[in-house]
Amino acid sequence: MEKFKKSWNFHGRTITVENGEIAKQAGGSVLVRYDDTVVLSTATASNQAKDTDFFPLTVLYQEKMYAAGKIPGGFLRREGRPSEHATLTARLIDRPIRPLFAEGFRNEVQIVNTVFSVDPDCSSEMMSIFGSSLALCVSDIPFNGPVAGVQVGLVDGEYIINPTVEQSERAIINLTVAGTKAAINMVEAGAKEVSEEQMLEALAAGHEAIKELCAIEEEVIAACAKEKMEVVLYEIDPKVRAYVDANGADRIRKAVTIEGKLERYGAIDALIAEMEEGVATLEWEDDAAKTKAVKQAHEYSVEVEANEIRRLISEEKIRPDGRKLDELRPLDSQVDLLPRAHGSAMFTRGETQVMSVTTLGPLSDAQIIDDLTTVTEKRFMHQYNFPPFSVGEVGRMGSPGRREIGHGALGERALLQVMPSEDEFPYAIRTSAEVLESNGSSSQASICAGTMSLMAAGVPIKAMVAGVAMGLITVGDTYSILTDIQGMEDHYGDMDFKVAGTRNGITALQMDIKVTGISQQILREALAQAHKGRMEILDNMEATISEPRPEVSKWAPKMDHLTIPVDKIRIVIGKGGEQIDKIIEECNDVKIDIDDDGKCVIYHTDREMINKAKQIILDLIREAKIDEVYDATVSEVRESFAFVTLFPGTDALLHVSELSWERVEKIGDVLHVGDTIKVKVIAIDEAGKVKVSAKRCLEKPEGYVEKKNPRRPDSRNGNRSRGGNEKPAANVERRVFKKKDSE
């Protein structure tokens, strides 16, 4: 195989594609360089089709920590289970690629993207979509590509393709969009309450850049593509089709219109089981053929159900539960369900119900991130849990799967746009979405419930966020857009378009489609219809809780904060943490977070303990100032002076001459250790040593005359030196030195 290598300029950066040298035994492979980012993408397929009713596609995104010059964390110090970022990126690659395989393709396909080098400003995620598409296109795997993806940021009024990290932080839209030359087929976005029109402009800008990447891919494909393998697409046996059409199809179509979800599903499941039993009574070659036929009876019955749902919506504008195309299901909002939780709320939309629980903690509870991104920790976490009982099933319970991670990330992105800053609300915040019932749109219900639980917890979010899922049914040249899709419409429809936002604008988008792409017109209509639905949902939520609570729950940690001078941090912490451990113990296990810049936040459920800890810290970092007056405690007494404690950690010298306006021979005749005396600071030297006076806090006696020290005669002939350059005689210098020494 001859090596191929070529470079292109893409919006100010260089993309280089190499083929024919690395990973040659894979079905297809490309090494993609995007300035300093390097990704190897491979695609391999099995030779035989699998006997399944779904397309067995696996997409992986492997983060090698050496790519960013890091050693992995944890005990083993090697890459283990995928990070959340890696899981989300794998989903991001899968979603635009999956619809471009032929219906009935059942050969197992595995796409692996390995990140060898990463420049945070040159997206390895977008190059993985690009590389995955190229690896498929140059391989022997049948694939209707190419497809590509870009990030779009709206920064200072300009739409920027693949913005840098710094630009993304300033952007009011952070959009990831993928598609073919003809249309968009995947969208993922977070935004700071932007209008539908701004989002459409961002999508249009992204699609233009996608067309450029697809043109690059076509050049590579023309030079490197292998001949495609011949595959047999999966088809249902005509004998099975005929039996179901004759004996159950009409009854299945009728059952589709049953309003209740469980009743509808129950009736359809019973009819499908009847078709399976009937097909099993027919004559077949052997048991294997019979088993396959029974399975196909199930598949074809489901296909009849899907086609009827699509026909009813497209032709008669009738949805399975009788709603209008733009009508929401019944809504219900509640707060304060859990007495000990910091905040709780439940949102119900039809047969979808989600309870959200908000928990507040110190900033040290923020999630530590160990991946290839520049993010090192997350202060706000939104987590989504989908137990099998929520859909009336028995299933695996354990760590979250890809779907749960993806839905949680979408909700987190939507809510993050309205969260208060760390300075405004210095807490780590976690919202847990517990799906209790599900019949579609549970991820958007988790956003609605999450908003209310945050407000109930006293988190000062900037605005309420609601989400709604839009659907699409296309038949020929006609299409119908559905508001608030339920499970059946999602499963058998062509689009799942989730839109979340406030009254002022969009905060998050996610779109997945099962067709090859959708037009700008459909996107425009879907966004407009989603806006109408969002306003109705917000009305319902606001009737339950209209603004954040002014105070956090009595069970939540209260907080106070102060700033410690950087040079005083070591005093507060103490040697080996001794001082701060002492504060924590004295204040009933108060939590204290201190940043390197001196920002200090104190947490406890008891406000009195917070105040106590704060005062101890203030005393430790307090500095005496000239002319300030203190009630000092005598800590040590000498013959002509005493040490007094102004406040913990700061002592001062009180000379006998500053004790009283009257002459005092011995300071010990007046002061004793433990006495309290009012003093004023009169001097602080460069070393920080403090001198105080007690007499200056007293009224000066009437007629008091300050005694002056007699002038010392000049050592040379009794005359004062007139110049500044004369050196004193050596014997005088020695005398003075000895005098000081003797003192």
Instruction: List the chain domain ranges.
Output: 4-224, 238-316, 331-544, 558-621, 629-697
Question: Which fold, 4-224?
Answer: Ribosomal Protein S5; domain 2 (3.30.230)
pLDDT at 344 (0 to 100): 98
Which three-class secondary structure state does DSSP give residue 153?
strand
Segment 683-703 shows an average pLDDT of 88
Q: Read off the pLDDT band of 391 (50, 70, 90).
A: confident
Task: State yes or no: pLDDT of 139 exceeds 90.
Answer: yes
To the nearest whole number, what is the mean pLDDT of the chain? 90
Question: Which fold, 629-697?
Answer: OB fold (Dihydrolipoamide Acetyltransferase, E2P) (2.40.50)
Residue at 356: amino acid letter: S
Task: State yes or no: pLDDT of 434 exceeds 90.
Answer: yes
Q: Read off the pLDDT band of 688 (50, 70, 90).
A: confident
Query: Which of 14, 21, 17 is closest to 6 using CA atoms?
Result: 17
Mutual angle of helices 520-544 and 442-456, in 10-degree steps:
40
Peptide bond into 146 cis (omega under 30): yes
CA–CA distances in Å: residue 114 to residues 4, 133, 162: 20, 14, 20
Task: State yes or no: pLDDT of 258 exceeds 80.
Answer: yes
DSSP assignment letter at 138: H
Segment 52-64 shows an average pLDDT of 93
Q: pLDDT per residue over 499-556, tens digit each?
A: 999 999 999 999 998 888 888 899 999 999 999 999 999 999 999 999 999 999 999 9
b vs e for 292-329, b when ≥16 Cβ sit within 10 Å of the residue's Cβ? bbbbbbbebbbbbbebbbbebbbeeebbbbebeebebb
Task: State yes or no: pLDDT of 1 exceeds 70.
Answer: no
DSSP assignment letter at 321: T
Percentages of the chain per state (helix, strand, coil), in multiples of 5: 35, 30, 35
Q: By the 8 A CB rule, do 341 and 280 touch? A: no
Percent of the chain whose predicted confidence (pLDDT) is above 90: 75
Report CA 173 to chain centroid distance, whole Å: 15
Q: Read off the pLDDT band of 724 (50, 70, 90).
A: very low
Residue at 29: amino acid letter: S
Which strand (E) or helix (H) includes residue 189?
A: strand 184-194
Same fold, 4-224 and 331-544: yes
pLDDT at 30 (0 to 100): 98
Rg (CA), the chain: 37
Percent of the chain whose predicted confidence (pLDDT) is above 70: 94
pLDDT at 725 (0 to 100): 41
Compare 739 and 186 and report the one with higher pLDDT: 186
Segment 92-105 shows an average pLDDT of 94
Note the CATH architecture for domain 558-621: 2-Layer Sandwich (3.30)
Q: pLDDT per residue over 655-667, tens digit each?
A: 999 998 888 888 9
Residue at 725: amino acid letter: N
Match 């729950």 to its residue by tokens. Answer: 553
Calculate ∠ Cα 714-718-722, nearest 5°.
60
Which three-class secondary structure state does DSSP give residue 561?
strand
pLDDT at 418 (0 to 100): 97
Which three-class secondary structure state does DSSP give residue 732?
helix
Q: Read off the pLDDT band of 264 (50, 70, 90).
A: confident
Question: Which fold, 331-544?
Answer: Ribosomal Protein S5; domain 2 (3.30.230)
Task: State yes or no: pLDDT of 249 exceeds 70.
Answer: yes
Q: By the 8 A CB rule, do 604 and 587 touch? A: yes
Task: State yes or no: pLDDT of 649 exceeds 80.
Answer: no
Task: State yes or no: pLDDT of 430 exceeds 90.
Answer: yes
- Give backbone dihedrals phi and psi of 624, rounded to 5 degrees, phi first: -70, 145
Query: Would you state the structure tokens that stand for residue 465, as one six-digit string?
Result: 């966020």
> Rounded CA gap, 264 and 252, in Å?
10
Q: Read off the pLDDT band of 439 (50, 70, 90).
A: very high
> Rounded CA gap, 445 and 353, in Å?
7
- Judged on CB neighbours under 10 Å (0-12, 13-18, 19+), 635 is middle
pLDDT at 518 (0 to 100): 86
DSSP assignment letter at 329: P
Task: State yes or no: pLDDT of 714 exceeds 50.
Answer: no
- Judged on CB neighbours under 10 Å (0-12, 13-18, 19+), 394 is exposed
Q: Does domain 238-316 have CATH number 3.40.50?
A: no
Task: State yes or no: pLDDT of 720 exceeds 60.
Answer: no
CA–CA distances in Å: residue 608 to residues 554, 560, 585, 593: 13, 11, 14, 18
Q: Which DSSP string corresponds to 14-66?
A: EEEEEESSSSTTSSEEEEEEETTEEEEEEEEEEEEE-S-SS--EEEEEEE-GG
Task: State yes or no: pLDDT of 260 exceeds 90.
Answer: no
Strands 184-194 and 173-179: antiparallel
Match 């977008």 to its residue by tokens. Answer: 126
Half-sphere exposure of 363 (CA within 13 A, CB side): 17
Q: Read off the pLDDT band of 371 (50, 70, 90).
A: confident
Q: Read off the pLDDT band of 36 (50, 70, 90).
A: very high
> Rounded CA gap, 564 and 323, in Å?
61
Which residues touch 419 (CB under 8 Å, ≥6 apart)? 380, 425, 429, 459, 461, 462
Q: By the 8 A CB rule, do 465 and 414 touch? A: yes
- Judged on CB neighbours under 10 Å (0-12, 13-18, 19+), 709 is exposed
pLDDT at 723 (0 to 100): 39
Q: Which DSSP string corresponds to 420-480?
A: PPTTTS--EEEEEEEEEE-SS-HHHHHHHHHHHHHHHTT---SS--EEEEEEEEEETTEEE
pLDDT at 130 (0 to 100): 98
This prediction has a pTM of 0.82
pLDDT at 707 (0 to 100): 61
Q: Which residues pair with 678 in a beta bridge?
A: 631
Which strand (E) or helix (H) includes residue 309?
A: helix 287-311
Segment 437-447 shows an average pLDDT of 95
* Diameter over CA atoms, the chain: 140
Q: By the 8 A CB rule, do 440 and 421 touch? A: no
Q: pLDDT per residue over 450-483, tens digit each?
A: 999 999 999 999 999 999 999 999 887 889 999 9
pLDDT at 736 (0 to 100): 25
Least confident of 167-171, 379-383, 413-417, 562-566: 562-566
> Rounded CA gap, 617 and 610, in Å?
11
Least confident of 140-149, 414-423, 698-707: 698-707
pLDDT at 61 (0 to 100): 97
